[in-house]
Structure 1
Amino acid sequence: MSNFVMDQLKFVRLQTIEYVKGMDDSTTEIIPIGLKNHIKWNLGHMYVIHEKFAFQLAGQDTQYPANFNKLFDPGTKPSDWDIEPPTLSRLLDLLTEQMQRVEEVLSSKLNEDIHSPYKSSTGLTFTTVEQLLGFLIYHEAMHFATIKNMKSIIEN
C-alpha cells in the first residue's frame, strides 16, 4: 500500500544508505574537529530512534541489536564507548531491513491511534502511527544532512 509518508520515509532512508555504502569503516569513524559524533554514530542513532518511534511507541515489537542503546541513544558519543561498534556493512544491512519491517508491519496501521499520546522533547504530541512516521522523515533527513556535511569535511 502506497502512502506519501511511507514513500518519503523510504526515500530518505534509501538516499542515506546509497550515500554511505561506498565508504569504508575507518572513514565513517572519523570525528570532525568541533563535533562529538561521526557518520557511523549518526547511522546507528537513526536505527535506534526509528525503533522507538516506528515500533515501540506504536506498540509493536522492537529489534534492538545488543548494545545499540548504549552506543546510539541520544546523548551518547563514541568517545564514551567501551565496546566495539558494528561495522558499516552491518549498520547498512540493519537500516535496510528495518525499512522493510516498517513497510510490512505499519503500512496498514498508519491511521491507528498509538496506545497513549507521546510528547516529544520539543513539545510535539503524536497520537497516530502516521504522525510518528512523519516525525521520522524530519529526523532521518536531519541526520542525512549531518552525514553529508561530515563527509564533505572529512574529504576536504
Structure 2
Amino acid sequence: MSELLFNNMELTRSFFIKNVEAVEEGLVDVQPEGFNNTIHWHIGHVLTAAESLIFNFPKSTNHLPVNYMELFARGTKPAEWKGDVPSISVLTSQLKEQLSRMKEIPVESLNVELKEPFLGQKTFGELVNFALFHENLHLGHIQAMKRVIETAK
C-alpha cells in the first residue's frame, strides 16, 4: 500500500507541476467571473495546504515563509494580498522541493494514528492521501480557469 501512495505522490505532484508550467504567465493573476481566486492563488494554496497537512506548517516546519498562511490559506483572496507575494517560478521550485521531502517520509510513519481524526482521516498515511486528493481538486480548478481565461481573450 505504501508503494502505491508514494507512486501517487510522484504522479500527482509531477502532473500538477507540468500543468502549472504550461500556464502562460499573463494568465496566472486573472480572476475570471464565477471563480473565487486566481491560478496564482491555487498554486500557492496547494503548496501551503500540503505543507500544513503533511509537515504541520507553520508549527513544525520552516520550509515556507510564515506569510504563506496569510496569502494562501483557506478563505484568503488575492484581492487582499499585502507584502511580498512569491512568483510562480518560486512557488514551482518550492513544489518540487516539497515533493523531494514528501518522498523521504519514512514508510512506517504512514500507519501512525493521528491524535484526533482530521477531515475523516485517522492515520498519517490517510492524511497524505487526502493532501493528494486536495491537490487534484485544485488542479481541476486551474485547468478550468485556464480554459475560461483563454476563451475570453
Class of the TM-score when normalised by the shorter of the 2 chains: 0.7 to 0.9
Q: Deviations over 1:93-121 (max 9, x none)?
A: 0001001101113444212223x12332x
Partner residue, 2:111: 111
Residue 149 in structure 1 maps to residue 116 in structure 2: no
Partner residue, 1:79: 79
Give the alignment of 1:113-128 within 5 angstroms: 113-114=113-114, 116-120=115-119, 124=120, 126-128=121-123
Asked if 1 retains the 8 angstrom alpha-carbon contact of 2:5 and 2:129, the reply is yes
Partner residue, 2:49: 49
Q: Deviations over 1:49-78 (max 9, x none)?
A: 101111118x95352224100000000000
Partner residue, 2:16: 16
Partner residue, 2:133: 138
Q: TM-score, normalised by structure 1?
A: 0.86
- Identical-residue share of aligned pairs (%): 29
Partner residue, 2:32: 32
Tell me the distance in 2 between the aligned counterparts of 1:101 and 1:60. 14
The AA in structure 1 aligned to 2:91 is: L
Moved over 4 A (4+): none
Quote how far apart the aligned CAs of 1:136 are: 1.2
Unpaired runs of at least 5, structure 1: none
Asked if 2 retains the 8 angstrom alpha-carbon contact of 1:54 and 1:133, the reply is yes
Asked if 1 retains the 8 angstrom alpha-carbon contact of 2:48 and 2:68, the reply is yes
Q: Deviations over 1:118-141 (max 9, x none)?
A: 332xxx1x2321111111121011
| RMSD of aligned alpha carbons | 2.0
Q: TM-score, normalised by structure 2?
A: 0.87
Tell me the distance in 2 between the aligned counterparts of 1:35 and 1:14. 25
The AA in structure 2 aligned to 1:37 is: N
Unpaired runs of at least 5, structure 2: none
Q: Deviations over 1:6-27 (max 9, x none)?
A: 2112211111110121434331
